[in-house]
Amino acid sequence: MDIAGSTALVTGANRGIGRRFVDELLARGAERVYAAVRSPETITASDPRVSPLYLDLLDEKSITDAADVAQDVTLLVNNAGIATGANLLTDDLDDVRRELETHLFGTLRVIRAFAPVLATHGGGAIVNVLSVLSWVATPQGSGSYSVAKAAEWNMTNGVRVELAGQKTLVQGVHLGAADTDMMAGTDAPKIDPVDVARASLDGVQSNSLEVLVDNPSRFVKAALADDPAQLYGPAPAK
């Protein structure tokens, strides 16, 4: 699909990768961009094509209300998320559940609400911003996030299959660390969030099902076919 003339909705649009998606959509000629966030007053864009919209991934009514308002959407960007930093074995299970409720069920609720809207416009496209942690776990407190992103990744595959009949492109976007508020405490090389938006939207225009934004995502994806020791080291000695 062509970005020019499209109507997009971006969740988590007030900062980080979401904000860069809004900027890049406008630069490519989108007719309208719904900036969907929990606090619409934080959207300060001066471009009249930007429409702040209340949406909370944990509030199903806010999602259905947003879909009722944004009936002209042709491109849905699911970017909103959280990172509790919870370890799977030692931290509160409620934090693990909150990650799953947000990344898996929250994103799925948005897709379920907007899939009929996209169908009325010929199918359109859905972008799910995922992570290299969809495929690998690390020892730096990412256990619950990895589980949630892995679930969101295969949910992305599942809805892709179910929406093929209405000609909706469903794209998964994978990256390592981006220079965002969520990653502020992470000591690792970080890419510019605008690179994520540009790579994804290039992929939308070329009908790409999957976008690997950086070298970490490409390395881990390739390593999945090999011995897990390549990612996790050798098994503990007995």
pLDDT tens-digit map of 14-53: 999 999 999 999 999 999 999 999 999 999 889 999 999 9
Average pLDDT, the chain: 94
The superfamily CATH assigns to domain 7-232 is NAD(P)-binding Rossmann-like Domain (3.40.50.720)
Q: How far apart are CA 219 and CA 166, in angstroms?
A: 33
Comparing CA positions, the residue from 1, 12, 5 lying closest to residue 193 is 12
* Residue 200 in this model has a pLDDT that exceeds 80: yes
Q: What is the pLDDT of residue 187?
A: 65
**The one-letter amino acid at 238:** K
* Residue 213 in this model has a pLDDT that exceeds 90: yes
Q: How far apart are CA 40 and CA 35, in angstroms?
A: 8
Q: How far apart are CA 223 and CA 217, in angstroms?
A: 10
pLDDT tens-digit readout, 85-108: 999 999 999 999 999 999 999 999
pLDDT: which is higher, 159 or 184? 159
Comparing CA positions, the residue from 220, 221, 9 lying closest to residue 107 is 9
Q: What is the pLDDT of residue 237?
A: 85
Domain ranges within the chain, ordered by starting residue: 7-232
Of the pLDDT bands very low, low, confident and very high (cuts 50, 70, 90), residue 179 is confident
Comparing CA positions, the residue from 131, 132, 136, 39 lying closest to residue 81 is 131
Q: Report pTM.
A: 0.94
Q: What is the pLDDT of residue 203?
A: 98
3-state secondary structure of 230: helix
Of the pLDDT bands very low, low, confident and very high (cuts 50, 70, 90), residue 218 is very high
Token pair of 102 as six digits: 């947000």
Q: How confident is the model over 124-146, as a mean pLDDT? A: 93
Residue % of the chain over a pLDDT of 70: 96
Work out the burial of residue 206: count CB atoms within 10 Å of its CB; fewer than 13 is exposed, 13-18 middle, 19 or more buried: exposed
Residue % of the chain over a pLDDT of 90: 88
Q: How far apart are CA 38 and CA 14, in angstroms?
A: 9
Specify the residue for token string 């502020």: 184
DSSP string, 49-102: TEEEEE--TT-HHHHHHHHHH-TT--EEEE---------TTTS-HHHHHHHHII
Q: What is the pLDDT of residue 7?
A: 98
